[in-house]
Amino acid sequence: MVETGCGITGVTPSFPARDLLRVSHRRGHLVVSSHPFGPDIYLNNVGEMQKIYTHSDKCTRFSFREPTTSESISAATCYFGNVTKSQIPFSWGWLQLGWIVRASEGVFANPLKDAQGNPITDERVLKSFLNGFEKVRGIYLCKNDFGFAPYETFKIGDQRGGDFGRGGLARVLEHTEEEIAKNLVKISSFYEKGVDVSEFDQVQEPILTVASLCSDRVHDNYKLHVLGDNRLNQLRGYVFGVLNSGYADTKNLDLAI
């Protein structure tokens, strides 16, 4: 429901204020929280974003939903567009991109959820959802940003940003049919030592985890780390919330661009 008024009493609702940011996403736009939620574990950050907020002195009420990995990357790319290299993006902590499942043959991004709203981790079930979709440059890209990148399509360890962007992992996280994941390459360009992809090794049993990006502010501020082992949701970090379109009409809001 869209609420655009404060009620007959004229009293401003006692909800916390959150500014919004319109970011480019694929061929359109996405509205996200201007500052990420956190630092906390992923599920707590998601719970926080689902509360009711208001926009500055506006009376419109809204909430956020958890992003897909590609939506997180679009939001992060916008953030990078407003800083300089000397500010070392991500030095403030881990950016939680979204759910992935590391399986025996590859990595599933944005796994579909069961009736209870939990990410599906059964590898056979996840593979069945790939039926009807053709490989695009070695990876599967399905509806709702669900996708699959076989291990042979990407490299683990230190690598140049361009090489990382051409790999299947970057492309499935960004959910792009292009030859290169342009947003992730743009982000990696801030790091002169390139990219380090870790904890994406082949596993025997499926592992549900949260893919994350960071630059180690203590040891290595000049390398982008891509982590695939935020198991048990214990790594504290930040996540951008995506505006829940069921609550707010963004045409009535003054959005930062």
* DSSP structural state of residue 250: G
Q: Which residues contact 29 (CB under 8 A, 6 or more apart)?
A: 22, 23
Q: How far is CA 239 from the centre of its chain?
A: 7
* pLDDT tens for each residue of 221-230: 678 999 998 7
Q: Is the overall model pTM greater than 0.85, yes or no? A: yes
Residue 229, helix vs strand vs coil: coil
CA 98 to chain centre: 5
| Distance from C-alpha of 149 to C-alpha of 141, rounded to nearest angstrom | 9
**Looking at the DSSP assignment, which residues form a beta bridge with residue 32?**
21, 242
On whether the CB atoms of residues 52 and 255 are closer than 8 A, the answer is: no
Query: Could you tell me which residues are beta bridge partners of residue 243?
Result: 64
Residue whose tokens read 């790999």: 167
Query: Per-residue pLDDT averaged across 29-39, rounded?
Result: 90
Model confidence pLDDT, tens digit, residues 114-136:
999 999 999 999 999 999 999 99
Q: Where are the domains of the chain?
A: 89-235
Given a cut of 50, whether residue 4 has pLDDT beyond it is no
Instruction: With cut-offs at 50, 70 and 90, classify the pLDDT of residue 256.
Output: low
Least confident of 81-90, 119-128, 160-169: 81-90
Q: Per-residue pLDDT for 69 more than 90?
A: yes
